[in-house]
Amino acid sequence: MSAHSDNQPHITPVSTYLGIGLALLFLTFVTVWVAQFDLGEFNLIVAMLVATLKGTLVALIFMHLYYDNKLYATIFVVSLGFLALFIVFTLFDTMRRGDIYPETGRQIKERSAIYDNLKPTQPAEGSESQH
């Protein structure tokens, strides 16, 4: 029997950890900076892409998936991508519901910004306003 094993522990240098930490901090600033611009529905896509990149860096380096079997890292990265995709599709659906179902009730918060672009609706016949 050989005393050497293929399953040697990997020691990551502190400089790698500091570099990834700085990259995560930079990506956090990118997220805050991009949030200052109105990109419409693309705000969500950009935010999800940055969050996916940050999650991937954490998993690959801090959780050592980069140094483990590459199949595990691939499965993790693809799973994060699909999760982001499903969340984006779900939010696009919920953000467009007003196009199908018009608002008919009283506003919850009268001065909320979400109601600025709504068309005024007429109450149904026979119903009274409850203010």
Q: What is the DSSP string of the chain?
A: --S--S-------HHHHHHHHHHHHHHHHHHHHHTTS--TTHHHHHHHHHHHHHHHHIIIIIT-TTTS-HHHHHHHHHHHHHHHHHHHHHHHHHHTHHHHS---S--SSTT-GGGTTPPP-PPPTT-----
Within-domain flag for 122: no
Specify the pLDDT at position 25. Answer: 96
Q: Are 14 and 20 in contact (CB under 8 A)?
A: no
* Segments forming the whole domain that contains residue 75: 14-99
Specify the pLDDT at position 81. Answer: 80
Tokens representing 16 are 């790698």
Give the model confidence (pLDDT) of 39-53 as tens digits. Answer: 887 887 788 889 888
Within-domain flag for 38: yes
In this prediction, residue 35 has a pLDDT band, given cuts at 50, 70 and 90, of confident
Within-domain flag for 36: yes
Give the model confidence (pLDDT) of 66-120 as tens digits. Answer: 888 889 888 987 887 888 788 878 877 777 766 766 666 665 666 666 666 666 6
Within-domain flag for 31: yes
Residue 10 has pLDDT above 90, yes or no: no
Within-domain flag for 73: yes
Residue 37 has pLDDT above 50, yes or no: yes
Within-domain flag for 121: no
Give me the number of domains the chain comprises: 1
Specify the pLDDT at position 19. Answer: 94
